[in-house]
């Protein structure tokens, strides 16, 4: 288990979740816009209104694609390692971060699942310390079995190092 990213982040599944949810929101907005046009503008609908609708749809779709691309790149650059005495976590696109979390400081690990993650069969692992804020790491979108294995591994290492540290 001492290798880089022992369990890979499921980037494709995360991108799929984001596309489904964001496209759903955009389709809902387009439906509302279509109802508005049909009720209020339909009798005098012309070419200018059609261009305006195209612009509105473009303004909604372009940011969606940029957000999905940004999140894909973020997840692609995210790295974690289960080293001998620390949990190493690094990533970032514009500003980079690195975090070395000693196993002796780990309080607990928690598995999180949103409704979409449950549907896609993935989970996220949060490793927390006693610090009030920013003390732990959040490893997103692992296969559910991998998340359980990683949580068990981290907890076992933390318990082993706490007994050595006298905690």
Residue-wise pLDDT for 22-54, tens only, equals 888 878 877 787 777 666 666 666 666 667 767
pLDDT digits (tens, 9 = 90+) for 52-110: 767 777 777 788 888 888 888 988 898 999 888 999 999 999 999 998 899 988 888 99
Q: How far, CA to CA in Å, does 162 sit from each of 76, 102, 104, 159?
A: 33, 10, 5, 5
Distance from CA of residue 15 to its chain's centroid? Answer: 9
For residue 1, pLDDT over 50 is answered with no
**According to the CATH classification, is domain 80-165 in 2.20.25?**
no
The reported pLDDT for the residue numbered 32 is 80
Residues of the chain with CATH 2.30.29: 80-165
Confidence category of residue 113, pLDDT binned at 50, 70, 90: very high
Output the average pLDDT for the chain: 82
């Amino acid at each position: 288990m001492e290798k880089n990213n022992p369990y890979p982040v499921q980037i494709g599944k995360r991108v799929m979740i984001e596309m489904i949810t964001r496209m759903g929101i955009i389709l809902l907005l387009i439906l509302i816009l279509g109802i508005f046009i049909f009720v209020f503008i339909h009798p005098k609908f012309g070419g200018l209104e059609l261009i305006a609708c195209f612009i509105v749809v473009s303004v909604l779709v372009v940011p969606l694609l940029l957000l999905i691309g940004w999140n894909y790149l973020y997840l692609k650059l995210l790295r974690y390692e289960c080293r001998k005495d620390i949990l190493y976590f690094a990533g970032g696109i514009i500003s980079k971060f690195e975090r070395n979390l000693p196993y002796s400081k780990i309080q607990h690990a928690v598995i999180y699942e949103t409704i979409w993650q449950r549907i896609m069969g993935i989970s996220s692992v949060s490793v927390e310390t006693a610090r009030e804020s920013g003390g732990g790491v959040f490893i997103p979108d692992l296969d559910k079995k991998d998340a359980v294995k990683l949580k068990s591994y981290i907890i076992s290492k933390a318990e082993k190092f706490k007994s050595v540290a006298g905690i």
